Amino acid sequence: MRWFRLKHVLLLVLDTATPAITAGLAEVSVDGEHLLAERVTINARAHGELLAAQIQDLFASTGKSVTGLSAIAAGVGPGPYTGLRAGLVTAATFSLALDIPTYGVGTLDALGAATSGDVLVATDARRREVYWGLYRDGSPRTPAGVEKPADLAPLLVAEGIAAGVGEGAQRYADVLGVSVSDPLYPPALQLARLAADRVRRQAPSEQLTPLYLRKPDAVEPSTRKPVLT
């Protein structure tokens, strides 16, 4: 990495663990993190089709070159299998092609990072469930989990948590008993900030391990079906 020869280094930020297809370019310096541009499209079915175009638009709009990238930060979920995989495969491809490190960032962590007090962070897990975690002043109190909102609600009452962020919290606000505020989707700037210390330390590249929390919807059949019945 060219950190000590440059005042700023360029970081590509990706997250596809929610219906928001998020791509951003940020500059990381010894003084902080600055978001140059961000592209977000809400489409739960087109992560693979739209992400590359968003990344291309980032470079075109900022006048930056792909070859100027020094690192990549990618949201590792939790999230549904197909969408989450699109972002991680893209990050890994850039990493290999440019020989630059990748750093994983928890998607819930990016949502919860700028919150204060005790907050529920929840994204939509489909199947009428949410991926969730409890946060206090921006830091996680619990590991990420997946649960039906009605089963999660008693814990929130017991913990005295009445505030939430994330699309999952918004979708099931009445069941969860929380008042929801922004952000609904992981902000690119928070993803950058959660990776920034590793960028500054020139930490080794990380294997991007997706946090699925459950098996994908599509599975191989256990037995072969007869062609004729």
Q: Could you please report the per-residue DSSP string of 117-159? A: SEEEEEEEEETTEEEEEEEETTEESS--EEE-HHHHHHHHHHH
For position 229, what pLDDT does the model report?
43
pLDDT of amino acid 183: 97
How do residues 104-160 score in pLDDT, each as one tens digit? 999 999 999 999 999 999 999 999 999 999 999 999 999 999 999 999 999 999 999
Give me the mean pLDDT over the 20-29 stretch.
97
Between the alpha carbon of residue 37 and those of residues 11, 62, 64, 126, 199, the distances in Å are 11, 7, 11, 30, 19
Is the separation of the CB atoms in 84 and 112 below 8 Å? no
Distances in whole angstroms, Cα of residue 164 to Cα of each of 10, 76, 174: 32, 21, 11
pTM of the entire predicted model: 0.90
Please give the pLDDT value at position 225: 47
Mean predicted confidence (pLDDT) in 21-39: 97
Per-residue pLDDT tens digits for 43-72: 999 999 999 999 999 999 999 999 999 999
Q: What is the mean pLDDT of the chain?
A: 92
Domains of the chain (ranges; CATH) run 3-107+186-200 (3.30.420.40), 115-181 (3.30.420.40)
Residues above pLDDT 90, as percent of the chain: 89
pLDDT at 214: 76
- Confidence bin at 226 (pLDDT 50/70/90): very low
| pLDDT at residue 215 in the model | 58
Q: How much is the pLDDT for 227? A: 44
Tokens standing for 148?
């039906």
> Dihedral sign, CA of 194, 189, 122, 80?
negative
Per-residue confidence band for 216, with pLDDT thresholds at 50, 70 and 90: low
Residues 90, 76: Cα–Cα separation, whole Å: 12
- What integer pLDDT is reported at residue 8 of this predicted model? 84
Residue 161 near residue 154, CB atoms below 8 Å: no
